[in-house]
Amino acid sequence: MLRLGRREFGTHEPVIMAIVNRTPDSFYDQGATFRDEPALARVEQAVAEGAAIIDIGGVKAGPGEEVTAEEEARRTVGFVAEVRRRFPDVVISVDTWRHEVGEAVCEAGADLLNDAWGGVDPRLAEVAARYGVGLVCTHAGGAEPRTRPHRVAYDDVVADILRVTVGLAERAVELGVPRESVLIDPGHDFGKNTRHSLEATRRLGEMTATGWPVLVSLSNKDFVGETLDKPVKERVLGTLATTAVSAWLGAQVYRVHEVAETRQVLDMVASIAGHRAPAVARRGLA
């Protein structure tokens, strides 16, 4: 059972986490949801299309202009409070590695801290424990926040992913984060080249076998682009193919840009696996 905010999700229930970037320089939407009204419209649309979690980020993952903790909080805290007011039942996640920002967004109503940089600030898990919120424990290969991988190498990338993410998850629980609210994430593209991310996907079953709920953040990422030689705006099909494989191998939470398309893929895989009945079953019955 996965418990986040007011929501509980069954073991075989796929969960969509919709991305809402509160940045002027996102790699995907170039700041389309930087202002409040477009961002709130994005939340409303994502919830209508089947997202249970809204993931709010105030700093883009890649290199760029410096964003201080104060500026990151300015971009996210008030928005978290407004989403909480308008959508009381949605799970609000905040993509941050900084404990100061984590504390501020938890005060504003966040339910989940999405630490995409692998515990680089160990105090973030302490904040999650203090507020009783969830935590995403990600493998980033020891990379510094907002840096790109350079000649990165592993003896066994999946073994390293398991060591790091399970270690972070166990530490979080020891600190007091509710066990049912901790997820692990292989960190596609973070501290990895394309072959590493493909191997992490191919062997995702080793992560799901740990018993920790697995979150995957695949949406339009560089490993998809390099695999298919496609620019950012032409990576949806590759993303959905990777989503289907991840679903078959047992991932539970999917951080995405395209909510409606992902919902169909996840529903189809769940029905093939026998975890979901078809929405309609008339064929051959009359």
pTM of full prediction above 0.85: yes
Neighbours of 13 (CB within 10 A): 17
Output the CATH code of domain 2-273: 3.20.20.20
Task: Spell out the domain ranges in the chain.
Answer: 2-273
C-alpha–C-alpha distance, residues 41 and 261, integer Å: 18
Give pairs for 236-241: CB < 8 Å, separation 24+: 236/261, 240/265
* Structure confidence by residue, pLDDT tens digits, 64-96: 989 999 999 999 999 999 999 999 999 999 999
Q: What residues have CB less than 8 Å from 24, skipping those under 6 apart? A: 31, 34
Pairing of strands 134-138, 182-185: parallel
Q: Which residues pair with 135 in a beta bridge?
A: 113, 182
Residues with a known catalytic role: 221, 255
* Structure confidence by residue, pLDDT tens digits, 201-255: 999 999 999 999 999 999 999 999 999 999 999 999 999 999 999 999 999 999 9
Helix or strand or coil: residue 19? strand
Q: In the numeric block, which tokens belong to residue 132?
A: 């009783």
